[in-house]
Chains A and B, each alone.
Chain A
Amino acid sequence: METPLIDFLFLKDAPRARQYYKKVLGIDRANLIAYWPLWEASGSNAVNLEGTVARDGTYSGATLGQQGIGDGHSMPLFDGVNDLVNVNSASFRSAFNGNEGTVAGWSIVSGAGVWTDGVERQVMRFLVGDFINFVFIRKTTGDNEFSFNRSAAGVGNNVDITLSTTDLFHWAWTWSDSADQAIAYIDGLQVGSIQTGLSTFAGTIASDRTVLFAADSGGQEPWSGRGGHVPVWTAPLSAAAILDLATVP
């Protein structure tokens, strides 16, 4: 009898290791459309632990197997020049919901100087080709500024915060057109004010702009540092769930 991948990992991993990814998988599973732990030690495939193989990602240039979040697994290092994880797939792009959703993940900069290097660096970017419907999270060109962004039909909702940590940090962004709210979180706690006045997202995110840790598949605006454990839901998670995501058991 085949052992499903998830059960194999459960049997294989140390108790602490099996808890974090299982926690992610246990949060609003019905609305989880992708979860890339980015914990591979080698190879080009970035597995989608949600289970839809068609939504696996592809590493471009990242140095795999680096220090992780403390869950017993590793994370990749992105060189700040052209490394990224391409998560484009027809399956993911059609499942993504720009009107109701959550995206989260972990990141750490490669050095303190990244926060003042004057370069825009993305941790995730899902953008429709019209450039007026998008969700992205980035370090901006401003010193020590980290920004959560959603635009729908050209109506933008942003949360910009001051951030200069050289420690690992958790980011999360939730949006709901129906509830007219978008909320940003760092390390499990809300940052900035609840955004309102959301507009309705339209269009399918573009195949060359469905990327983690860069702006597009061409390697623009790449992250400099490590990053991983990126899940995406088609519903806004609660504050309690976000706090849970930001906690490594």
Chain B
Amino acid sequence: MFRGYLLIEGLPPGFTATDRRQAWDALHRIGKQDTPDPHRNNHIRLRPDSLAQIVEAEFDDSEITRSAIVAVIAQAVGLPEAAINATLDYTIFAEGQEWEQSRLDCLVFLKTNQAAWDAPLEN
């Protein structure tokens, strides 16, 4: 069991917006979904350009291997797993460690990549 943050980016460049939405929606369905504790249930943060997604939940270890993530995306968009695997960048923040370390590592990532992950400034 792992509770923490995953980063998925590098979907095939030829994906349409619909393809990306299908992929992200599929990743919204991994991990715990409906426990009484919102922090254990799957919730996401989508990069403003929709090309990457952070997923947080409590997961079974088997569902967050790279091959498992590739399989979820491939099935959602109807493509061979090899096509997804060829471009996918996948990170588990603080794999095997406690949630707080995963959160801290994710925060460092977001700070380092702030320009891409923050919403555009208004006014």
Contact = CB atoms under 8 A, between A and B. Distances in A.
Contacts of A218: 44-46
A119 interface: yes
A64 B38 contact: yes
Interface residues of A, number: 33
Interface stretch (B14-22, B62-70, B77-85, B110-118): B110-118
Interface string B102-113: 010011001100
Contacts of A160: none
A61 B43 contact: yes
A216 interface: yes
A151 B46 CA distance: 26
B39 A63 contact: yes
A118 interface: yes
B119 A215 contact: yes
B38 A81 contact: no
Contacts of A119: 110-111, 114, 118
A216 B106 contact: no
Contacts of B41: 44, 61
B13 interface: no
**A-side binding surface: helix, strand, loop or mixed?**
loop
Contacts of B46: 218-219
A62 to B, nearest CB: 5
A218 B119 CA distance: 10
Interface string A28-40: 0000000000000
A50 B90 CA distance: 44
Given A79-B39, A81-B103, A131 B111 contact: no
Contact of B43 (A43, A82, A120, A216): A82
A219 B45 contact: yes
A63 B37 CA distance: 7
24 contacts: A42-B36, A44-B38, A44-B41, A60-B43, A61-B39, A62-B39, A63-B39, A64-B37, A64-B38, A76-B38, A79-B56, A81-B45, A81-B54, A81-B103, A81-B106, A83-B38, A119-B118, A120-B121, A149-B123, A218-B44, A218-B45, A218-B46, A219-B44, A220-B45
Interface of B: 5, 36-39, 41, 43-46, 48, 54, 56, 103, 106-107, 110-111, 114, 118-119, 121-123
